[in-house]
Amino acid sequence: MTLLDGLSLLSIASGCFFFVAGSVGMLRLPDAFTRLHALTKADSAGLGLLVLGLGLQADSWWTVLRLLLIWLLVLLSSATTCHLIAQSALRRGAALRRGDNDE
């Protein structure tokens, strides 16, 4: 268990934690927008950590570059998708849940 392995284990574990957090967020949060928020943010971060962990294990820079490319692409697409879903939810009139304090 070299230092490298330890580090990658740590980052992969935290990545997974982020994914779990995102999922729990999606289940627990009240309305569409907050769920979108949770999903996009947590999963992107989780994936980043995962890519970092795998990058440490990679045997050549070429693989690391490809992993990063994957991460970049996922970032881009999830951001756009989140935006589009939010826009359609807005137009569809999903109830914007007021914050607890101004009830």
- Contacts with other proteins by CB under 8 A lie at 73, 76-77, 79-81, 83-85, 87-88, 91-92
Give the chain's length.
103
What is the C-alpha to C-alpha distance for residues 71 and 26, in angstroms, rounded to an integer? 21
Q: Which is nearer to other proteins, 10 or 70 (CB)?
A: 70
Q: How far is the CB of 90 from other proteins (least distance, A)?
A: 9
Give whichever of 7 and 88 is closer to other proteins, judged by the CB atom: 88
Taking the least distance from each CB to other proteins, the nearer of 64 and 89 is 89
Using only C-alpha atoms, what is the Rg of the chain? 17
Nearer to other proteins, 92 or 98 (CB): 92
Query: Reduced to 3 DSSP states, what percent helix, strand and coil does the chain have, rounded to the nearest 5?
Result: 85, 0, 15
Residue 32: CB minimum distance to other proteins, A: 12
User: Closest separation between CB of residue 103 and other proteins, Å?
Assistant: 28
Distances (CA, A) of 32 to 2, 66, 86, 87: 44, 33, 8, 11
Residue with the two structure tokens 């990058």 = 55
Work out how close the CB of 72 gets to other proteins at its nearest, in angstroms, rounded to a whole number.
10
